[in-house]
Amino acid sequence: MTASGNAIASARTFAADVINGFLEVTHNGFALLGLAVAFVAIALSARPDLRQAGEDELRGWLHERRVAEVGFPLEPTASERAVAINPKKLPREQAAVAFWLSKKYRVAPEPLAALVTEAYEIGKRTKLDPTLILAIIAIESSFNPFAQSSVGAQGLMQVMTSVHTDKYEGFGGQLAAFDPVANLRVGVKVLQECIARAGSLEGGLRYYVGAANLPHDGGYAAKVLAEHFRLRQVAGRPAAATPVLSTKAPAATEVAPTAKSAEEKVALLDSDA
């Protein structure tokens, strides 16, 4: 064999030795890695606290990286806190009401869909027409959950939070006046009391607006019932005719005007009355 042939053979032998050594090391490395993974899995199975701590550490690290990327804290569950649902998932009647109100009052249909759903549910429980509840919200706040009047009436249904503080106790306190659903439920409770006290819907609306002892209610009851009539039409509910109401208070309650203005947008009904 020539010198060149010997060199080629030696090179091939060397290459073969390198490849075999690499394969052996790699195989042993994978074996060691597999043993390490198995050991860790056994240890974590035996110590759930270690597994939980590891998962928490990893989640925290990933969260910190994400915050660093976007520049502000993240809240993956924020959508669950939002008072909003897809209006297309509502029954046809409720969807029609939600879309109509959204267009008229320039409010997003998703939060309106949630309010319409709540109004229908609470209306069923209280035997009140849900479109009446929605009509009151429309006249009181135009569906602004953060509205506040000059006399302190707050939220969707413009409830006097300082007067009806006790009604918010079940919702965590009076700051719940700015939670749409809590305000709606408290407002309906106040409305029920007003209607029961007056003995009629029209009289109850005058109590609700604080005009029961005034010579007129500024057209409040008529506005509410006119909006109620329109909503019943949108909902496809029967309505014989547009309600025509006197804006004067019942004769039994006609007294000299008090210091309260008919502009006050809420029932000033004492809880102990």
SS (H, E, C) 28-46: HHHHHHHHHHHHHHHHHHH
Judge whether 155 and 144 are in contact, CB under 8 Å.
no
- List of residues 6+ apart from 273 with CB closer than 8 A: 197
Q: Does the pLDDT value for residue 77 go beyond 80?
A: no
Which ranges of the chain does DSSP label H, i.e. alpha helix?
3-46, 48-70, 78-81, 92-105, 109-126, 130-141, 180-198, 201-208, 220-235
Write down the pLDDT at residue 238.
78
71: left (phi over 0), alpha (psi -120 to 50) or beta: left
How many Å apart are CA 77 and CA 133, to the nearest integer? 30
Domain extents in the chain: 3-70, 87-253
**Two structure tokens written together for 40:** 């860790």
Q: Does the pLDDT value for residue 124 go beyond 60?
A: yes
Q: What is the CATH number of domain 87-253?
A: 1.10.530.10
Average of per-residue pLDDT across 143-154: 95
How do residues 209-250 score in pLDDT, each as one tens digit?
998 888 889 999 999 999 999 999 999 987 644 444 444 444
Task: Tell me the pLDDT band of 56, cut-offs 50, 70 and 90.
Answer: confident
Which residues make beta-bridge pairs with 159? 154
Q: Is 159 helix (H, G, I), strand (E, B) or coil?
A: strand
Average of per-residue pLDDT across 128-154: 96
Task: Tell me the pLDDT band of 187, cut-offs 50, 70 and 90.
Answer: very high
On average, the pLDDT of the chain sits at 78
Judge whether 85 and 116 are in contact, CB under 8 Å.
no
180: left (phi over 0), alpha (psi -120 to 50) or beta: alpha
Q: Is 207 helix (H, G, I), strand (E, B) or coil?
A: helix
